[in-house]
Structure 1
């Protein structure tokens, strides 16, 4: 990622668990992350009822909702909401294969960022597997627009995000974050950026069944006076756009493979991220699947196109 591409797939060295509450349903939830075989991907497992072991493979085709968070699975059956912070951490740390056992329907919000997922994976350790990793390489520009908002993929030698937001609130205003992305950049510049919202929207969200687990411990809140009401203030001067970058990384991780290219957006969000990803993956001329075939000291890795099965996770 960035200009550093990894040759082999990875998984966790050991199992690790985290617990918390869902930011929207407010319910307690526990999650266990466990090692998985090569080519497994990220698979969510729900509680077994004896006759059925529900599971969802994290992929663009599993997206069933993008209102306020990214939701995977059947909303009337087994589903998992608010997966974007977890997926961003997995994407950034280069973790390909993990079993995710969850006893609820929403990932815990923890501190509102991806930092605690990063800490958990550091504690579990990351293990390299003897199977080559495949990448989605963007071959031509793909753009989607919705009013004044837009998002696009462009060819690029690396993995780069250029995210711009524009809010009427003077507490946020217009901010942009542009960077090649690798694990080091993510840890330093993005992982701790927290989700945010406006105090004036709280009652409306509660009435709609959202933000029931939101608090100043897991969200940056902007008050009626357009000031951040959290006592500690912001962790980054431009924390808002960094969190939007984190969200975009998590949403695009649902491609089922890392991408080589640039993602740009203006006034984006989960819905636009998902639409752009599906637009890219629905056009077979817009991307190709590649893997590293050789790496010589002092030279860039050589990437070649490979054939893929029709059931590949990036198929829409």
Structure 2
């Protein structure tokens, strides 16, 4: 099984969630073994997408460098890139965040569909999880465990009548991602949005790019896209956060009340001990199993 990139350059424009300004995003093909690379056109700086370059996980996953240049809210785009099995891609931006689009990953899926997938000459690598790794904070946890057929088993619990406790198990595949996960939007509480805006954050947030909830109801006139859209979006985020590992992960992900921060700490915990994983070239047998994911 060979590495992939996109077949041609594609461009899009969307609003930045925090600054509320238009942002141009361009996805470009990249050669083998280069991974996912950001280029801040306005600053003339490239940043490799990898766990060591994550600088903030408070409200989104943010990567940056020592000079203070950063890119925020990468997880929705990365979720699509990961689910399409793309190993190498260059993301060109003229601002410090990925545009929020409609708050889900479907716009990025459409961009990748337009770009097409190109197979490269170099062999594809994958990370096989060899033993369970877990990160806990109180009763919250995220965990990865050995599996040949990756799945995401996520549970959320909110003290809110609209959300409550939700669980969803997603068997990872490209087709499944598009149908079950990609359209699930980010969500927030009205009181939190008001507080963020008072601090000049979430200026681009609206009912067009998020599910917004007050004390008792959903404010979006169209309602939810899925009955359990909230937990599906958490899976979307997790797929994007784990993509920072830089290669497909053969392992089961389980979470209760997870977060960007716990996901980041999980990637660091995996990489902290080589006994946790094995990096392999996808030989004929492994490729046969894994290729089903991207059929």
TM-score (norm 1): 0.88
- In structure 2, runs of 5+ residues without a counterpart are 291-295
Cα deviation, residue 75, structure 1:
7.8
What are the residue-to-residue correspondences of 1:150-229 with 2, within 5 Å?
A: 150-224=141-215, 226-229=216-219
Per the alignment, residue 40 of structure 1 pairs with 34
Identify which of 274, 292, 295 aligns with 2:264.
Answer: 274
- 1:293 is aligned to 283
Selected match of 1:242 from 225, 229, 232: 232
How many Å apart are 1:296 and its aligned residue?
Answer: 10
Structure 1 residue 128 displacement after superposition = 1.1
Partner of 1:310: none
Match of 1:30 among 19, 24, 33: 24
Q: CA contact under 8 A between 2:42 and 2:93: conserved in structure 1?
A: no
Runs of 4+ in 1 over 6 A off after TM superposition: none
Q: Does 1:16 align with 2:7?
A: no
CA contact (8 A) 1:162 1:263 kept: yes
How far did 1:28 drift? 1.6
C-alpha root-mean-square deviation of aligned residues, in Å?
1.8
- The unaligned stretches of length 5 or more in structure 1 are 1-6, 302-316
Partners of 2:42 and 2:95 within 8 A in 1? no
Q: CA deviation at 1:253?
A: 0.3
SS at match of 1:158: coil
Q: How many angstroms does 1:118 deviate by?
A: 0.3
SS at 1:32 equivalent: strand
**Aligned partners of 1:64 and 1:75 also within 8 Å:** no
User: Please, what TM-score do these two structures have when normalized by structure 2?
Assistant: 0.95
The partner residue of 2:102 within 105, 111, 114 is: 111
**Is residue 231 of structure 1 aligned with residue 225 of structure 2?**
no
Question: Does the C-alpha gap of structure 1 residues 300 and 150 become closer, same or farther in structure 2, counting only changes over 3 Å?
Answer: closer
> How many angstroms does 1:154 deviate by?
0.4
**For residues 75 and 248 of structure 1, what CA distance do their matches in structure 2 show?**
26
Compute the displacement of 1:84 (Å): 0.1
Identify the residue that residue 293 of structure 2 maps to in structure 1: none
Distance 1:264 1:296 in 2: 23
State which of 246, 255, 260 in structure 2 corresponds to 1:265: 255
Instruction: For residues 152-187 of structure 1, give each alpha carbon's deviation from its aligned partner in whole angstroms, at most 9, with x where no partner exists.
Output: 110011221111100001111111111220101000
Q: By how many angstroms is 1:291 displaced?
A: 1.6
Q: Write out per-residue CA displacement over residues 59-91 of structure 1, whole angstroms, 9 at most, x where no aligned residue.
A: 111100001100000386221000000000000
2:46 paired residue number: 55
Give secondary structure in 2 for the equivalent of 1:131.
Answer: strand
Alpha-carbon separation, structure 2, partners of 1:27 and 1:189: 30
C-alpha displacement at 1:207, in angstroms? Answer: 2.4
Q: Which residue of 1 aligns with 2:75?
A: 84
Deviation of the 1:300 alpha carbon? 5.0
Aligned length: 291
The offset of 1:202, in angstroms, is 1.7
The structural deviation recorded for 1:18 is 1.1
Q: Which residue among 63, 72, 76 is the counterpart of 1:72?
A: 63
Query: Whole-Å Cα distance in 1 between the matches of residues 186 and 66 of structure 2?
Result: 23
